[in-house]
Structure 1
């Protein structure tokens, strides 16, 4: 098999990159190790920045998003039993965010790819990336019971944190920066209408809680829990009682309860790999960076990466210039580090550290008070949350 861009990973990053390249007339092949059913059911992010929504619309993948997505004008911060609204359009000149589950984005992109896009192979496990320093790198993969190869001009690793792309970088050519946070999130999906119109970020006496949603009928909620927590130790009633306590305010508000259909525990980690390019191998999305989900940046950063790559490949295709590809790692990492900083700051401001003392507690409250009392501070939060401008 021969292609211009070999894409490893059929998640939202790899699928969107393939769609953007298809619109530019650039051929590619997508290799996904899992089945179609698996990738279309993986529960992941659901908050889309304005730029992510714009990118999906631009490549014709937003019909259902436009019909079913929930546009949010802001978020609510809760602390000291008070509620404070952060108005995004007022603070950013009109920008908003949209709730639309990553599972639905993947379904939309897969359907488009299979209908009229370049090859998308499921159960195609990438085994090795050979000769990434050469003009014709080769990806060896296992598909339909036999080993096959795809010869590429470029390879893009969108294969997640545990994929092979990042590990292909030779020793000494890259560096990892990581921070493990001293707590995790217990996340649930519940078949119950959301108790709010917009996301609620709460700092309660027992720790952090987040009220999100996947649709008008499905709620997504999270609790800060100790690392190593077992979901078996959290029966449904305990989860709902703890959520109600952390969201409690001195006003008339009730947390809707319903059947919990899924539970999971997610460790909180920050991770950045530098650089994002070795020879003709490029990294995008979780293969290159991980952020704690507090700032809702993971999926949106992956989309930013592939938008930059699509611009760069389009320039190479139209003009023969590789300048944008040469700048890709630097451009993407500048945005990645800003999102990493924002996610870290949001996490530190809202979560209770196991070793926190009263001084730490008062500092957290001071940060929250600053945001809710200062238009400048609130605007900084809103600008980062809705997404910073993309600069190739």
Structure 2
């Protein structure tokens, strides 16, 4: 079942049916998901993992449906709603079939492999001349069309990087794994620079800052970044140098680049106005352009949230974020009850990575409309599974010799061993 889930990750992220239209005519993704659902229906080990985050997602889903049903532009918002509920289906498959550490490791590594293939595929196409010309510069795009826009492509890279850090800290694959991970980070950084996405570059800087702050070699790592950053900047074409310089000096760029930056702020206030006019449900998911007459999307998560889904969506979204926080705190407490040699296992490094990704989603949401991005649900599923595995690990440890499977009935009601309490 895990291989089927990884296969769907590849279809969802790389989207080969958008690269080769004849695959799209065959509806490969739809056929694959129907087959996966059939296998899931017969899968003997499926079950729900108890977690309040399921209810939070259900609450947000009800807000999305309410906003869509009450929208005057419901027909235009239907594709967004359909695509988002496809992500919900994958989330259900994930959390009902992956319940142990081996499965979690398999899924996490599979996700990184899929992202690596996606980056390599997109870079190969870029070298072959595939790009978009926008804001006066040639910008790298993803190989797909759904999330291949330079800004969306850059954001996808950023949100995956915390999972890379979790794999590094867990020493997955040993020395070869670390060389591979280092190459992945280098490729990710280069792709972000080539997109010309200022928001993604800022996200990359924030991620590097988090990594540097968390290492014991903080001073040396910071020095290395200080040296590497200007070298990478100088290696860029003049057009991209000028593009990124507009972050601190907007006057050096074209007028449309300044308007783009201003649009992020306007997106927030426009969203507030839409919310004021339709406080319960907003104007409906995915109908920003139709409702505002704008040629572009909101480019602001918070304006998009209240403007498109209103109070109904806002309540569900806040519940989702709160549950992320509660799960992260729970795993942190569990880790404190175990000996230090277990602290770098994936079930503890992955939740921290999800926490960093959540921070990046909320931070970059100020300059991007990422409300219906798959990352919210996929990473939430990773966190739920990691918390379950951590609880089993702690229960087995406290039971002194009892296997994790035998300790599972008490896993969710664990207590911190006095000898290891923080």
Per the TM superposition, whether the score is higher than 0.5 is no
The answer to which structure has the higher helix fraction is 2
The answer to which structure has the higher strand fraction is 1
The TM-score with structure 1 as length reference comes to: 0.28
